Each structure stands twice: as structure tokens, then as C-alpha cells.
Structure 1
Amino acid sequence: MTASFEPRIEHALQSFITDHPGMTSREEAVSAILENWFTNHGYLPSDQQGTRPENLDASNDD
């Protein structure tokens, strides 16, 4: 990926990479950020199992 972003986004991206040991490339970081955003906004399914928060009520308390 050769995309260049405005300085504040570049800085945030570099901070993200620094905060995530094991990130081996800028491309990997951008991919992780996009995957997280898409999942949190309903564009990708979550890998988590369980009851969605909006479906929780007293009947499914353990």
C-alpha cells in the first residue's frame, strides 16, 4: 500500500503500530484498523459468539 495520508492520520497510524507489538507493516496496521471499523459498524460479521447486547434482558441472565 502506498497511500499517503494527512500528517495527523500518519501520526495516529504510527502510534497505533507502536502500541501493537507484532505489527510487522504499515499495511497490516491499516488492515487491522479497517477490519475493526467494518466489524464495529456492521459491515463485517463479528467472530464472537453469544447474545448481542440489544437482545439481552433478564431472561438470559445466568
Structure 2
Amino acid sequence: MTEFYAEKIETALQTYISDHPGPLTREQAISAILENWFASHGYLPPQQEGRRPEDLDASNDD
């Protein structure tokens, strides 16, 4: 990787960290970026948050 390219990536990484709330380490940021990329490109299933079975009733049917 060229020095210029590495510098651009480092700048983008630092911007990503500063844009996300809470203390985020460099390793956590890289992990989050990779997880998002892998999921959006079909290498990981997308993370879905839903209702717990005991919280389901007719009022939340789609």
C-alpha cells in the first residue's frame, strides 16, 4: 500500500471514529467497518433486530 493511500485510509478511519458516539477504539472501528462491508456484500447475514417471541401479539402484525 502506498504511503498516500495509507494516509487517506487513516484519515477516513479517524473521521469514522469521531463521527460515532461513545469511546470507540481503532480496532472496534475497523471491526465495525469490516462487518458492515461483509454484510452489505453478502459475506455475512445482515444483523436484524426484532421483537422477542413473548412480545409479539396481533397489534404488531405487519
What's the TM-score once normalised by structure 2's chain length?
A: 0.65
Counterpart residue number, 1:37: 37
Percent pairwise identity: 61
Aligned equivalents of 1:17, 1:47: Cα separation in 2: 21
Counterpart residue number, 2:14: 14
What's the TM-score once normalised by structure 1's chain length?
A: 0.65
The aligned length equals: 46
Q: Bigger radius of gyration, 1 or 2?
A: 2
The unaligned stretches of length 5 or more in structure 1 are 50-61
CA-CA distance at 1:22 after TM superposition: 1.6
Q: Secondary structure of 1:14's partner? A: helix
Deviation readout 1:7-61 (Å, 9 max, x if unpaired): 0000000000000012420000000000000000000001237xxxxxxxxxxxx
